[in-house]
Amino acid sequence: MNAMYVYQTRIRLHDTDAAGVIFFANQFKIIHDAYEGLLETVGFGFAELISHKDFFLPIVHAESDYKMPLSVGDVLEVRVKVEKVGQTSFTLSYALVNARKETVGTGRTVHVTVSKATQKKIPLPADLRAKLEKLHRQDKG
């Protein structure tokens, strides 16, 4: 996977279970952190969305595969790719890679644009669509 956005983190104690390895559900938390970072880089951080935009971007589908254990202190890179840009939604894919460059997990999220006023699906705003499409094209190139 060629990454168009890379988020780096370290596995913390609170990410792990009693066995000292990442608790499987925390993989979604890490993926969401990477998603938030991506939005910030394209000018749509959550502070901006919540305070100044008339739409939300809820996740309507999420999947994640846990491939290898991660332990406290492990450095992790999350490589995020725009997989698809639709009329009202977009899909992101994620590869979680450890310091040895092994893929330890993967994920995918589907986001839909929803009007704050009506709570109904709306077309992706033109400025967001343009940024997502640009990232999608860069990743294919």
Catalytic amino acids?
A: 17
Beta pairing partners, 85: 90
Question: Residue 29 phi/psi, 5° resolution?
Answer: -60, -45
Q: Is 111 helix (H, G, I), strand (E, B) or coil?
A: strand
Nearest to 65 by CA among 101, 29, 107, 96: 107
71-90 as b/e, with b when 16 or more CB fall inside 10 Å? eeebebbbbbbbbebeeebb
Nearest to 11 by CA among 104, 74, 68: 74
